[in-house]
Structure 1
């Protein structure tokens, strides 16, 4: 007997609208109130990539959105399911990532406390998200679904990008649709255009500078061509923040790289007579824990109005980075290359190398070097909050591959689920790096990796606990508390999920990683070793 075609529902309107907006993949976990939504996804052209916890689904959507540059839907159920996404959405908000959260709600009859006793009921679920996301809305009728989704999509992708949140009651998702099928929608992000007089003043200051320097943050990531053109025209060295890695060619003679927690780089930035800050809020990590003391003029360009001059006095320019850089490039006077700026960069990097040569960190350099030489060029990498990441933030050469981390909010467990989200968007392998503490947050996603055949190589550095917290607490108090952990046999655990695993050593790491990347599917590499962070220099004034 043929299966009857179900009537279109509110869930179908959601799926139709997402497809019309350009979504191809959705992440999340079904739940009782959201069944109508997930059934509609099954009947649609959308690809569903499931996770094992809502937090990990949020991290996966975050990773997918970062590499695609567009909004990524995250579908979850009411109450506990929705609330578990909050840490992931906080990271998306801190890193300006356009995640489109869509949650079910209890039936309409119970909203506003009219009736009580519904499963998963919260007095005001929407209130839990308003302080985290850019935009939050409750949809009450099928006719509101397409306009609300289109509005949210546009807001998520309007600079500064960020997560948004919609809630739709169970009965609205299940009820027959009262609107015709959604086949096309109209939306357009609204990038802030720089005011002409601010462009003119920026050009005037840069043309008059003797030692201009550019600090490129995450907001410059999608303006790399304009950034390169401006740097070469001005002969201006470029320092990238950790979030801005990849915005400027690593090996370029004007690349001063990303040694932000180094007093020599801090001094280099402070000594510029004009510092053009593009897409950075000048927070504590970008300013060497606020030891940066500029001696010249700071020009701060950002699409996020809230960060302008929030930490340092500056000529604040509210603008999209690409639009501002494009305008400034056409206005500044090209300088004759004389090698002076390149020599300043060479001396800076030589001083940084000399400082590290004084430290006993041969093992850390060995591990990082083995990892870099084994990872194919253009491979996206995802990093958890672990000691090896603290090295990778300044030292990793992206070589064309996006470098993603939870540096925005700093939560544990980001790397592996984010890598699964990335793997759903790219045709090639992905690297995830975790410590053993952070790995336990995402260990259940080994099941998702096996089920989806994701080409993720997951390196777990097993040092027996929360390594970075162990160092912090020992340095501050003489001993650590709560940092030592009982762990599973990660390799055996991975293999129990059907994921191949390798136990390695620092000496064998390169060869074992090469084999893992050649496997064509998920692979776990476990490295039992204790790494140390580099000696801090932020206590020294520049």
Structure 2
């Protein structure tokens, strides 16, 4: 029998020695850094600020790498990508007030995409908290209130003794499914005061697991085994939980076609006979999903983009697996299973173990249905005279190595990529479609390059989105990061131009005067080239194969394929 006292962790001799003899010159900032190191962090992203300087000082004396960006929102995007690529909680260091608030769009994207980001922010001195308006620099009446509706959890350390526990709790929260951004704030005086505590040497913050309820997986398995026209919708939750392999096993075991959402790109092989790919903004695909007698939705809330702008009207039974309880049955009635995608798919596979392999005829029939759908989609696209757009996207795919990650801003080419780009491998294609903000691609790509040194990374932006993050060319150059930035320059907000023209017949406020992006990049010391659709593949491939940052500018106006969410 095991008793609670048997589980108490006793310090090692080395830990006891370190605790009793802490080095001189430590302060509260050291407790932050020591806790992060004790949790396993190796890299911190951020932007300096006056109130956060003690943490910067502690980082200087630590073994952690600090990657400073030029804008807090961009630092948040970099941390977001680092978290997506590594599966680790990415520390993001912010200063009080304006610095903290500037990170909000990035944290919203991390929340929408379930990216684990641990934001640590300074706060005004303790004497100014509690509603007292003393006029401190960067003072907000309630700074944490600005983040409660955005991040997964908020944690506050009012004393030095609370710092390790607050950060550990936040770490556990960020890495407990569904992953997400979390917020920790510490007052300036607490960070600056000499440390009265021993060195933080061991921190336990094991994330909690979220297994499915067995009676629900039993019902789901029975529905799938008896279904005549089952279909699987694989969302971003499959990617976040590293469940792509189990998804493929299940699809093949039952001969079920699979469509991936835009956030789930790469969750299922693009050229697999059962692949429906990602043509969710297509009425043919919507009709196919509506015709399913059982629809298994894994790691998706069937939101606006995944339901063809809420025109999807299912006629069959939906089984929905999601780690976010708020997304279960939020759009359609379903057998809701609140669980981590990987654990739920494993439970389904184990429950279905006695089910015999599908007959060859059943597998061929399912593959035939998938092929017929893709043929209909292909014929519709072919009839729209969009050869240029398809050529540009094909050139990008041909130039990008199969294992290299790509990061896409909200631009016309990205909208094409959501539906038509073969991600080749799981967790390699990322876009800002979770929250839909501009400026994501370049700083996110920088975060990925930090996560996987030596691996070329692609960022794709329009000229409008590029101006949100152009300052980070300095970051790319300073750290020598292997990021190639493709800027599609159409002289404005191209996708908004299309939307406005379609809705109102004319445009306003969508045209932009922009810089010479080649000259601008070169002024940062970053090599750049201007290309055209015919030369894009070769120019992009050369840039990606050359170490260090680079920019490829493509002046071209691309069109979107016709909307198909109307019956």
* TM class by smaller structure: over 0.9
Q: Which residue of 1 aligns with 2:484?
A: 457
Which residue number corresponds to residue 251 of structure 1?
271
1:482-533 CA-partner distances (Å, limit 9, x unpaired): 1000100000000000000000000110111111112211000000000011
Q: Give matches, 1:313-392, under 5 Å.
A: 313-332=333-352, 333=355, 334-338=357-361, 339-392=364-417
Give distance in 2, aligned partners of 1:435 and 1:315: 41
* 1:118 aligned counterpart, secondary structure: coil
SS in 2 for 1:438: helix
Aligned to 2:526: 499
What pairs with 1:41-56 in structure 2 (closer than 5 Å)? 41-56=59-74
For residues 458-477 of structure 1, what are the alpha-carbon distances to aligned partners after superposition, in whole Å with 9 as ceiling and x for unaligned?
Answer: 00000000000001111111
Equivalent position SS for 2:360:
coil
From 211, 214, 229, the equivalent of 2:232 is 214
Determine the C-alpha separation between the residues in 1 that align with 2:545 and 2:112. Answer: 35
SS at 1:180 equivalent: coil
Q: What is the match of residue 42 of structure 2?
A: 24
Structure 1 stretches of 5 or more lacking a match?
Answer: none
Q: CA RMSD in A?
A: 1.0
Q: Does 1:69 align with 2:95?
A: no
| The 10-residue stretch of structure 1 (132-141 or 434-443) with the greater mean CA deviation from structure 2 | 132-141
SS in 1 for 2:305: coil
User: What's the CA shift string for 1:72-119, capped at 9, x where partnerless?
Assistant: 000010010000000111111111111101000111111124460211
User: Structure 2: 5+ residue runs without aligned partners?
Assistant: 1-22
Deviations 1:376-419 (A, max 9, x none): 11010000000000000011111226111111100000000000
Which residue does 1:512 correspond to in 2?
A: 539
CA–CA distance in 2 between the matches of 1:124 and 1:82? 12
Deviation for aligned residue 1:178:
1.9
Separation (CA, whole Å) in 2 of partners of 1:158 and 1:272: 32
- In 2, Cα distance between equivalents of 1:143 and 1:417: 34
Separation (CA, whole Å) in 2 of partners of 1:242 and 1:312: 19
> For residues 469 and 115 of structure 1, what CA distance do their matches in structure 2 show?
42
2:320·2:336 contact (CA, 8 Å) conserved in 1? Answer: yes
Task: State how far apart, in whole Å, the 2-side matches of 1:447 and 1:225 are.
Answer: 39
Asked whether the 8 Å contact 1:10–1:172 carries over to 2, the reply is: yes
1:407 to 415, 433, 438: 433
The two structures have a TM-score, normalised by structure 2, of 0.93
Aligned counterpart, 2:171: 153
Name 2:6's counterpart in structure 1.
Answer: none
Check conservation: 2:533, 2:554, Cα contact below 8 A: yes
Q: Is the 8 A contact 2:320 2:337 kept in 1?
A: yes
Q: Contact (CA 8 Å) 2:133, 2:141: kept in 1 or not?
A: no
1:6, CA displacement in angstroms? Answer: 5.1
User: Which residue of structure 1 lines up, in the alignment, with residue 446 of structure 2?
Assistant: 420
The match for 2:20 is: none
Deviations 1:261-305 (A, max 9, x none): 011111111111100000100101101111111111110111111
Contact 2:522 2:528 in 1 (8 A): yes
Instruction: Please give the residue correspondences for 1:187-206 in structure 2 after superposition, counting only pairs within 5 Å.
Output: 187-206=205-224
1:524 counterpart residue number = 551
The separation in 1 between residues aligned to 2:451 and 2:299, in whole angstroms, is: 25
Counterparts of 1:101 and 1:43, CA distance in 2: 20
Question: 8 Å contact 1:219–1:321 — kept in the other structure?
Answer: yes
- Please give the secondary structure, in 2, of the residue aligned with 1:57: helix
Q: Secondary structure at the match of 2:287?
A: helix
Correspondence 1:275 to 2:295? yes
- Structure 2 CA distance for aligned equivalents of residues 117 and 316 of structure 1: 50
Paired with 1:39 and 1:8, the residues of 2 have a C-alpha distance of: 10
Aligned length: 536
Deviation by residue 1:411-457 (Cα, 9 ceiling, x = unmatched) = 00000000001110013100000000000000000100100101000
Separation (CA, whole Å) in 2 of partners of 1:59 and 1:245: 19
| Secondary structure in structure 2 of the residue aligned to 1:112 | coil
1:478 to 490, 505, 515: 505
- Alignment check: 8 A CA contact 1:236 1:341 kept: yes
TM-score by length of 1: 0.98
Name which of 146, 157, 160 aligns with 1:128: 146
- Divergent runs of 4+, >4 A: none
CA contact (8 A) 1:109 1:115 kept: no
Task: Give the secondary-structure state (helix, strand or coil) at the position aligned to 2:403.
Answer: coil
Matched, 1:305 2:330: no
Q: What is the CA-CA distance between 1:189 and the residue it aligns to?
A: 1.4
Deviation at 1:176, TM superposition (A): 1.6
- Which stretch has the larger CA shift, 399-408 or 418-427? 399-408
Quick check: 2:41–2:90 contact (8 Å CA) kept in 1? yes
Match of 2:97 in 1: 79
CA distance in 1, matches of 2:148, 2:436: 20
Q: Are the counterparts in 2 of residues 215 and 278 from structure 1 also a CA contact under 8 Å?
A: yes
Q: Distance in 2 between matches of 1:407 and 1:490?
A: 25
| Contact 1:235–1:337 under 8 Å retained in 2 | no
Contact 1:92 1:163 in 2 (8 A): yes
2:17 counterpart residue number: none
- The residue aligned with 2:184 is 166
The separation in 1 between residues aligned to 2:269 and 2:554, in whole angstroms, is 30
Q: Which residue of 2 aligns with 1:286?
A: 306
Q: Tell me which moved more, 397-406 or 363-372.
A: 397-406
Task: Provide the rounded CA distance (Å) in 2 between the counterparts of 1:220 and 1:519.
Answer: 33
Deviations 1:322-374 (A, max 9, x none): 11100101122132232111111111111111111101101101101111111
Q: What is the SS of the residue equivalent to 1:538? A: coil
Which deviates more, 209-218 or 169-178? 169-178
The reply on whether 1:238 has 2:258 as its aligned counterpart is: yes
* Partner SS, residue 146 of structure 1: helix
